Structure 1
Amino acid sequence: MSPGVLADRVAQAVLAVPGVHDLHGGVLGEVATYLPGRRVTGVRLRDGDTQVHLVLAWGAAVSTTTDAVRTAVAAIVPGTVHVAVEDIAAPGQPVVTP
């Protein structure tokens, strides 16, 4: 599977997890999978190591949501999955849909 297809599948799986508001690019937007002509923000793929940075929905349980994200991503990519919560969405903000 190409890196672009894999990164897109990971992003879709993460955004489908209840409690996830959006993906997050990190402080300087550096967390991404860089592809020709585009990038998948919030997902960094490396050999045997995947990083996912996200924004939680208001009121979502951190450990429950990050465990669900880790499980969803581990079903797609081999190796270790690291999940980082970068921010929490303000109350009433609409959830981003994949």
Structure 2
Amino acid sequence: MKTSEVVTAVIAALLGGGGLAFIQAVFSGVSSLKQGARAHERESVQDLARARDDADKRAASAEADRDYWRRIAGGYAYQLTRAGVDPTPADPVPPSQR
């Protein structure tokens, strides 16, 4: 037998004896693994986006509360100064300039 005849006989035996089903199973398994990984990555990205949005909402809420209390403190400081009370310390220095 020639080499080409042997190769042809081997291929025919594999494909005739369930080799085709095996090859299809391998390819379908690989494609399902890829699709599963992609789905998992999409879920992970969506989870990260939700976590980022929640963190942004908490930061915005904290900033709004901070600004509210600063306005209240500024109003009280203005009222006390207007009533003749001297602030303590008279000339505050911000932490960035210390």
Specify the TM-score bucket, using the shorter chain as the normaliser.
under 0.3
Superposition TM-score, scaled by structure 1 size: 0.23
> Which structure shows the bigger proportion of residues in strand conformation?
1
Superposition TM-score, scaled by structure 2 size: 0.23
